Amino acid sequence: MATPTPDQILEALKSVEDPDLHRDIVSLGFVQDLKVEGDKVAFTLQLTTPACPIRDQLKASAEGAVAALEGVATVEVALSATVPSSAGPGTAGAEPVAPGVKNIILVGSGKGGVGKSTVAVNLAVALKQLGASVGLMDADVYGPSVPMMLGVSDAQPTSKDGKHLEPIEVDGLKVMSIGFLVESDQAMIWRGPMLNQAVVQFLRDVRWGELDYLVVDLPPGTGDVQLTIAQQVRAAGSVLVSTPQDVALLDVIRAKGMMDRVQIPVLGLVENMSFFLCSHCNERTEIFDHGGAREAAKKLSVPFLGAIPIQPAVREGGDRGKPVVMADPESEISQTFLQVAREVAHQVSLAAVGETETAAPTLRMSP
């Protein structure tokens, strides 16, 4: 039986569509390194993020489409990912942070105490665990808590060239915080335009290297520092964190308004402290009127990224310097954070793929 030609195989693969991008995987440039050897077909699916939530589904569909062709006995599909950059032309005045930083994700909240830093830290760790190269910038000048949450409060960043700071590495995650340089209670007294510029400059003065994602933990609220960062840093988008109470949700609407003003897409809303999940009996208790953020996301027409329960393990992880996703990655709560990270990566891909041309498929025929 005749083996199908590469063109016939690509034609068959065109029937596989990415359900979110609404385009087939061939025109998206996902199919790479197609090899046909007798009745064996092998190719790589190059996705836009290692944290793709539908990677297994796409792989199975692609395998199925080729296996159905006559003359094909085996199909081998390898998965890889190249994260596209959203650091292209952006809003006037916004500059990329560094040439190697592909996507900046701003994590904000309408008010303090809703778990913004907790979400930023666990999101960064989760993206790293899903295979991406990740940095975490603690820009919460009024209460830098990232060093404590990652157990590196005593770290002293160094500089090799006298101009750039080397980030601190925690399990492969590159971390920088204003808290490394000043005592957290001193940061509180900084105010005014000098501070706003200083924070943006600080972000640029770090030698981040090559990063798929740089997660930035913003100060809470919608003040000048947040606005200056959002205006001057070319971000892929923002993740807004809220608790389910009405007051917090009203504040998050203000935060969305600020992002709109500076044309930063809101990648989605996370509901933190959504409900209480008892670690002994697994019973779920709705402490607040749970579900408010999902409703708010709908009203604001932004994606809902997930609901994080209130659990002692989350606070303990933060206090002990080992975020729960690092300390206990298999736990249910960590799986929820990982799912939020997949959704965030997915939203970044949607935004970036919409803007960039994708690569043509590469073919490798055996002689």
Task: Tell me which stretch binds ligand ADP (CB under 6 A): 72-80, 113-121, 154-162, 225-233.
Answer: 113-121
Query: Token match 């001057």: residue?
Result: 232
* DSSP β-bridge partners for residue 75: 41
Tell me which residue has tokens 């490394």. Answer: 180
Question: Would you say 31 or 259 has its CB closer to ligand ADP?
Answer: 259
Return d(Cα 304, Cα 336) in angstroms, integer. Answer: 13
* Three-state DSSP class for residue 232: helix
What burial class does residue 289 get, using C-beta atoms within 10 Å of its C-beta: 0-12 exposed, 13-18 middle, 19+ buried? Answer: exposed
User: Quick check: 202 and 231 in contact, CB under 8 A?
Assistant: no
Stretch that binds ligand ADP, among 34-42, 114-122, 151-159, 160-168 (CB under 6 A): 114-122
SS3 260: helix
For the CB of residue 354, give the shortest distance to ligand ADP in the complex, in Å. Answer: 30
Token pair for residue 208? 């981040």
In the complex, least distance from residue 281 CB atom to ligand ADP, rounded to whole angstroms: 17
Q: Determine the 3-state secondary structure of 76 from DSSP.
A: strand
Closer CB to ligand ADP, 282 or 301, in the complex: 282
Give the x/- contact pattern for ligand ADP in 194-233, rule: CB under 6 A.
--------------------------x-------------
Contact 159, 165 (CB under 8 A): yes
Min CB(316)–ligand ADP separation in Å: 8
Whose Cβ is closer to ligand ADP: residue 103's or residue 109's?
Answer: 109
Strands 134-138 and 211-217: parallel
| Using rule CB under 6 A, residue 315 touches ligand ADP | yes
Phi then psi dihedrals of residue 299, to 5 deg? -65, -40
Q: Give the one residue of 113, 172, 257, 354 binding ligand ADP; rule: CB under 6 A.
A: 113
Contacts of ligand ADP in 291-310 (CB under 6 A):
308, 310
Cα distances (Å, whole numbers) of residue 55 to 18, 46, 316, 329: 10, 10, 33, 20
The CA-based dihedral angle spanning residues 101, 223, 94, 182, taken in that order and rounded to the nearest 10 degrees: -50
**Gap between the terminal Cα atoms of the chain:** 18
- Of 92-111, binders to ligand ADP (CB under 6 A) are 109
Please list every residue from 115 through 154 that binds ligand ADP, using CB under 6 A. Answer: 115-118, 145
Nearer to ligand ADP, 111 or 174 (CB): 111
178 binds ligand ADP (CB under 6 A): no
The residue among 353, 332, 302 whose CA lies nearest residue 84 is 353
Give me the least distance between CB of 111 and ligand ADP, in Å please.
8
Torsion of CA 88, 93, 97, 100, to 10 degrees: 20
Site for ligand ADP in 261-280 (CB under 6 A): 272-273
Q: Which residues pair with 304 in a beta bridge?
A: 269
Please tell me whether residue 346 binds ligand ADP under the rule CB under 6 A: no
Q: Given the complex with ligand ADP, which of 3 and 272 has the nearer CB atom? A: 272
Number of residues that bind ligand ADP (CB under 6 A): 18
Is the CB of 27 or the CB of 331 nearer to ligand ADP?
331
Q: Toward ligand ADP, which CB reaches closer, 98 or 248?
A: 248
CB nearer to ligand ADP: pick between 144 and 361: 144
Minimum CB separation of residue 260 from ligand ADP in Å reads: 21
Binding site for ligand ADP (CB under 6 A): 109, 112-118, 145, 220, 272-273, 308, 310-311, 314-315, 318
